[in-house]
Structures are given as C-alpha cells and as structure tokens.
Amino acid sequence: MRAGVLALQGAFREHIRALRALGAEAVEIRLPAELDEVDGLIIPGGESTAMRKLMADFGFIGPLREFAATGKPVFGTCAGLIVMAERLGGRRQELLNLIDIDVERNAYGRQVDSREADIHGEALGPEPFHAVFIRAPQILGAGPGVEPLSRYRGSVVLARQKNILAATFHPELTDDTRIHGLFLQLFDRKAR
C-alpha cells in the first residue's frame, strides 16, 4: 500500500510525515505519470488559486479525475478540499469535481486568519480531535451522497463521499494521526 501526496505547492511534507508515522509508504507526486505508482492520494492545503494553476500547467486535471474514478482514495485538506469541490459560492467550478459540496473560501474572515478548536465525530472515536484552521474554507452545503463526519459551529468540517475524504482544516499540523488513519482505512475498503 503506497500513498502519494501532491507536491506542487503547500503543506505536502507534513502529510508525508503523518503517513510515515502510521507505517505507510508515502511519496511526493510531482508529475501525472507518478500517479500510476500510488494507491491513494492526498491533496494538501496551501493556496487554492496557485494550486489550481499548477495542476493545470502540469496536466494533472484529467489524470486526477481518472485516478479518483477508479475508486482509489483521495483526501483533500483545506485548499485541497477547495480544488476538489463541485461548487464555489454556489457556482459550479470546472476543476476536479470530486465531491458534491459547495464551498466558500476564507470563510472565517480576514481578521481571524487561523483558529484552533476541538472537534468531535463518531469516526474519530471518543476523544476530541484538535483541529487547526488556517484561512479555512467553509462547507456551505453538501449533496445527499456526502457523509458528514464532524461539524464545527454547525458546519461540516470533515466529510466523506465514497472514496473521497475532505477536511477544511489541517490534520497534518498536529501529532494526532487519526484522520490520516481514516484515509488509510479507505485503501482497504476499496471505498465504493
């Protein structure tokens, strides 16, 4: 079982570290052809406008859609969630379209760039998860195929749609590897 982390931009190194801490083999993905060598992929946080441009420039859009369509797990965090979303502010975004959610960028306002909060959810187990939000997006709405796994102040912050996992926060910035563990569980389940 081999996991890739899209390494065009953003917090990819921290995801590699979290995956390795769980004993998984983890590699950086910089070219579309490298997707053939992994069984699942993380799209990290960073800056979605830069990531969108780099994904297009490096020819990742079609290959990433195909990768997800085969049922291989894809986990997007923060900017990674934004580029996976079907809709941005109610309008369809033509990009990866991997998960049926509507997202608002930088939803918590400029004054509060970053916040930390304990979140809960059955999938996380009995202990709260300390979530780090950095210029975080907010999920405004989700289609019926999307399973909410955790909420913060009424909106979904962790969700799954079949083989696609999405978080509005940065689970790679804490030592708690439970959410990376959820991602690795999708490898076994074939997530269909």
Please state the closest distance from residue 166 (CB atom) to ligand GLN, in A.
12
Catalytic residue (choose from 14, 86, 104, 172): 172
* 3-class DSSP string for 96-156: CCCEEEEEECCCCCCCCCEEEEEEECHHHCCCCEEEEEECCCEEEEECCCCEEEEEECCEE
Question: Under rule CB under 6 A, which residues in 113-142 are in contact with ligand GLN?
Answer: 134-135
Active site (annotated) includes residue 172: yes
Q: How many CB atoms are closer than 10 A to CB 5? A: 27
Backbone angles phi, psi at 74, to 5 degrees: -130, 130
Letter for the amino acid at 120?
H
Per CB under 6 A, the list member of 106, 141, 143, 185 interacting with ligand GLN is 106
Active site (annotated) includes residue 130: no
CB 162 within 8 A of CB 3: no
DSSP string computed for 28-75: EE-SGGGGGG-SEEEE--S-HHHHHHHHHHTT-HHHHHHHHHTT--EE
Active site (annotated) includes residue 116: no
**149 vs 172, beta carbon nearer ligand GLN:** 172
Site for ligand GLN (CB under 6 A): how many residues? Answer: 11
Q: State how far the Cα of 55 lies from the Cα of 178, in Å rounded to an integer.
A: 28
| Binding flags for ligand GLN, 68-97, as an x/- string (CB under 6 A) | ----------xx--x---------------
Question: Under rule CB under 6 A, which residues in 145-164 are in contact with ligand GLN?
Answer: none
Catalytic residue (choose from 15, 86, 104, 170): 170
Please state the closest distance from residue 172 (CB atom) to ligand GLN, in A.
11
Question: Under rule CB under 6 A, which residues in 12-51 are in contact with ligand GLN?
Answer: 45-48
Structure tokens at 114: 């970053």
**Residue 171, interface with ligand GLN (CB under 6 A)?**
no
Catalytic residue (choose from 14, 78, 104, 180): 78
**53 vs 92, beta carbon nearer ligand GLN:** 53
Q: Hey, which residues are catalytic here?
A: 78, 170, 172
Binding site for ligand GLN (CB under 6 A): 45-48, 78-79, 82, 105-106, 134-135
